Amino acid sequence: MSRLDIRPFEATDLPAAAALLAERHQEHRKRHPLLSAAYEDQQRALVEVTAVWESEGASGAVLREGDEVTGYLLGAPKKSPVWGPNIWVEAAGHAVRETEHIRDLYGAAAAKWVDDGRIAHYTLVPDDAALLDAWFRLAFGSQQAHAIRPVPSVPIPARPGLTVRPAVRDDISVLAQLDLSLPQHQGLSPVFSAGTLPTLEEAQAEWEEDFEDPDYVTFVAESNGKVIGSSVGSSIEKGSTHSGLSQPDNGGFLGFAAVLPEARGLGVGRALGEAVLNWSAEMGYDSVVTDWRVTNLLSSRAWPALGFQQTFHRLHRLIGH
């Protein structure tokens, strides 16, 4: 392979990067047509790339072959301490004409990131086998799945032995418990997710304040008269995880589902997910989006079984370990 012309990304590279991103998204939508077609337009893609470039602390690299830009990579840090000393390459932060070249671009850009002490690297990669393989060969591993499915064409029937209904104020005490139940589960093996848990009192106070928020719907599952799980649905615009290229037009969002430990593995989570799917259809949405930690053995099996197809993979690498 001849020596590649790779240099630091500059503002003048934005239009060419946008053209590459629009091409990538067009190919991506051949596999996942429920994603928004808007970003196949170079001007819309330019808005996304520019936002990444203008993020505080952004830097990256660009690849030229002759007079043509054929690849770029941009990353920027997030201030949240949950992610460690980090750099994020978001969905609009990379595109290449040849998948192998993402490795060369990362090699050029990551040197600065590590020199700056940013050793926790994250990237959001489309569901493209060759591109994922290139990232995997950079020592990245899969951490989080972003997925989509169409709304059901007919209502999904209720599961026998369970009652799933809209939550009422009398459910707040158990809703607060369930708010803690999911992150507690995520902290266990094999997920080992880190994060600060609210207290039960804090969770209950938040429910008391926000219970009537019209932007969200909450369902609970009952067995033998006892609430054992909950789920929350909303418009996709209310979910901060899904934006830009990963956000479909007119989509619903399965933003939360949790089941008490003693009731797990019985199909309760799936029934709660189906409630959000039915609600999304009733609201007139075209699709539903959700996400999960791939190391969460329960959700990583329940949501694909409900028909969710992975669109983006969040990958992670920790340098020096």
Domains and CATH numbers, the chain: 5-138 (3.40.630.30), 150-310 (3.40.630.30)
Q: pLDDT by residue for the chain (321 residues), tens digit each?
A: 457 899 999 999 999 999 999 999 999 999 999 999 999 999 999 999 999 999 999 999 999 999 899 999 999 999 988 899 999 999 999 999 999 999 999 999 999 999 999 999 999 999 999 999 999 999 999 999 999 999 999 999 998 989 999 999 999 999 999 999 999 999 999 999 877 788 999 999 999 999 999 999 999 999 999 999 999 999 999 877 889 999 999 999 999 999 999 999 889 999 999 999 999 999 999 999 999 999 999 999 999 999 999 999 999 999 986
The angle subtended at Cα 246 by Cα 217 and Cα 130, nearest 5°, is 140
Number of H helices, E strands in the chain: 8, 13
Query: Residue 53: what pLDDT?
Result: 98
Half-sphere exposure of 58 (CA within 13 A, CB side): 20
Query: Residue 197: what pLDDT?
Result: 85
- In this structure, the chain runs to a length of 321
DSSP string, 92-141: TSEEESSTTHHHHHHHHHHHHHHHTT--EEEEEEES-HHHHHHHHTTT-E
Alpha-carbon gap, residue 71 to 9, rounded angstroms? 10
Distances (CA, A) of 314 to 81, 99, 135, 233, 242: 18, 17, 11, 22, 12
Single-letter amino acid code for the residue at 254: L
SS3 label, residue 38: helix
Query: Residue 2: what pLDDT?
Result: 56
Quote the distance between the C-alpha of residue 127 and its chain's center. 12
Quote the distance between the C-alpha of residue 86 and its chain's center. 17
Query: Residue 249: what pLDDT?
Result: 96
Half-sphere exposure of 197 (CA within 13 A, CB side): 17
Query: Residue 239: what pLDDT?
Result: 76
